[in-house]
Structure 1
């Protein structure tokens, strides 16, 4: 087949504005290690919504193509293009991919932590008005740069699950890893009832937690949390921080959460996490991405001898683990309930605003659809 020279894409030109459907050029030649992929599925993430709304912004980032959870069919490859496990990527293969790393900086070589790469690059951080133009998910074709973390995908993992593994799922699994995992029979409190919070609820249940609590809103999300393994839920709508923490303590026999994970990022989350954590409990901060300073009661951290851990997204190891997780636990949870009905690029604006209104958990865009 002939290699396309341009692609239709949904471009963000202004925060809070509708995405602009336009044609973007594609590279005439593929670099060694690169791939050109026809996108078959992009699942929208909370980060996409935050960028669209302007909550997450920095000078010079626009225009851009959103979407960093995606899979697709390889239509062309550069010389020596392989996935993260060293497997050759042939034309026609189905792959997923995530951020690029340089492999040369202190984070990559000394710390050996790709998330600490000083030149870490997501597809959505590529401006759409300069080469290579289209590297993200809301595009018919995407240019996968040489240093992007690519994975050949097993047939039994559906597109939506595989796409979500590229950010949301790997972020959750890394957070649990940073906390040292779930102690069997312990109390786990998940702050947030979006896609990450719901997936984290499922992971806690599958991992052997004795009590799993999901704290969030709206009621429809909390009902879904019960289907993903929550023993009880706490609705934060119209409820003060102390009341939320007190309810968590009640549901854990006055003990509190042995492991509390922040997937919400609201300004009050830090204080609430400390208040609802058990003595010598662990708090993992994942969802607090905004620029505002958030006060945390350090006296209580000291008095309870809490462990506070930060966890930033995930790397290729977490990505691979997320794919394996979905393969292993395919039948354990109603994973498909996390995803909306697929729609084309022309519907991307409506779907991202629906997520912003909390009307759906995870929108799905199939650029092959009209």
Structure 2
């Protein structure tokens, strides 16, 4: 097919306002390592909703194209464009991609940690009015920058699952890895019943937890948590710590995982954790200052670990996870009915109202 010179995109110009369908230019020269893709599927993440609402914001970010969980069909590539494992990427291939890294900073070279890259670049952090314009999911075509870590995707992983693996999936699996995994038979509390919390509930169950408790709202999402392996669910309106302690015979949980981000999460996590328990903080992205009972952290000898998103290795593991456990959970329950770009704003609003777990946008519609 001819290489397009522009793309239709849903652009965020003001926080909390409808997205504007706009025609954006596409680069006319694909540099080494770059690719041009036709977006097949984008799944919206909680971060997209927080950026849209303005809860997550930074100077000079708008206008922008949202969407950082996506799958694309390769239209063309620059010279020497390969995936993260060194495979050539031909036209027509289906790929996913992670954020770009510089390969030169302290985080990349000394720490050897992609998530610590000083110039780590997400597609949605690219302004849509400057080169290369369209690098995120809510557009018909996207420019995949040279240093973005790309993955050729296996046919047996559906587009929605593969897109989710690019952020929500890899974020959850990295969190389990950062905190040392699940001891067989352990009690795990998952704070949050969004896509990350629900996926973490399933991962905890599949990892051999003896008891899984999911804390969240609304009731419809907690029903999904039960389908995904939660032995018990706790409404956020309840006395959360007291309820969890009651469910665990007063002992608390060996592992508490934050995917909620509410100001009370840290205090509640410490209260729910058992002696020498482990806590991993993943969802607390808001700038609000939240007190933490350090005396209880010391007295219980707790281990508290932070986990930030994930890198290309975590993304690869997420694809492998969906391949291995494809039939073990009803993963499609996480996703809404696909809609086109013109309806993306309504689906973001629905997620904001907690009426949809994970919206699916098909720009080809």
Q: Shorter-normalised TM-score: what interval?
A: over 0.9
The alpha carbon displacement at 1:299 in A equals 0.5
Secondary structure of the equivalent of 2:350?
Answer: helix
Superposition map of 1:216-295 within 5 A:
216-237=216-237, 239=238, 243-295=239-291
Would you identify which runs of 4 or more consecutive aligned residues in structure 1 move more than 6 Å?
A: none
What is aligned with 1:349?
345
Secondary structure of the equivalent of 1:367?
Answer: coil
What is aligned with 2:110?
110
* Cα distance per residue 1:338-370 (max 9 Å; x no partner): 00000000000000000000000000000000x
| TM-score normalised per structure 2 | 1.00
Secondary structure of the equivalent of 2:213?
Answer: strand
Secondary structure of the equivalent of 1:205?
Answer: helix
Secondary structure of the equivalent of 2:3?
Answer: coil
What is aligned with 1:298?
294
* Cα distance in 2, alignment partners of residues 173 and 83 from structure 1: 21
The alpha carbon displacement at 1:149 in A equals 1.1
* Cα distance per residue 1:257-279 (max 9 Å; x no partner): 10000000001111000000111
The alpha carbon displacement at 1:55 in A equals 0.4
Superposition map of 1:104-143 within 5 A:
104-143=104-143
Secondary structure of the equivalent of 1:15?
Answer: coil
What is aligned with 2:324?
328
Secondary structure of the equivalent of 2:315?
Answer: helix
* Cα distance per residue 1:226-254 (max 9 Å; x no partner): 000000000013x3xxx210100111111
What is aligned with 1:155?
155
The alpha carbon displacement at 1:255 in A equals 1.0
Secondary structure of the equivalent of 2:230?
Answer: coil
* Cα distance in 1, alignment partners of residues 312 and 178 from structure 2: 15
Secondary structure of the equivalent of 1:167?
Answer: helix
What is aligned with 1:206?
206
* Cα distance in 2, alignment partners of residues 106 and 50 from structure 1: 29
* Cα distance in 1, alignment partners of residues 12 and 24 from structure 2: 13
* Cα distance in 2, alignment partners of residues 226 and 118 from structure 1: 40
Secondary structure of the equivalent of 1:121?
Answer: coil
Superposition map of 1:76-91 within 5 A:
76-91=76-91
What is aligned with 1:174?
174
* Cα distance in 1, alignment partners of residues 318 and 113 from structure 2: 17
* Cα distance per residue 1:78-105 (max 9 Å; x no partner): 0000000000000000000120000111
Of residues 124-133 and 248-257 in structure 1, the stretch that sits farther from structure 2 once superposed is 248-257
Secondary structure of the equivalent of 2:143?
Answer: strand
Secondary structure of the equivalent of 1:127?
Answer: coil
Secondary structure of the equivalent of 1:250?
Answer: helix
* Cα distance per residue 1:296-353 (max 9 Å; x no partner): 1000000000000000000000000000000000000000000000000000000000
* Cα distance in 2, alignment partners of residues 72 and 119 from structure 1: 24
RMSD between superposed Cα atoms in Å:
0.5
* Cα distance in 2, alignment partners of residues 2 and 215 from structure 1: 50
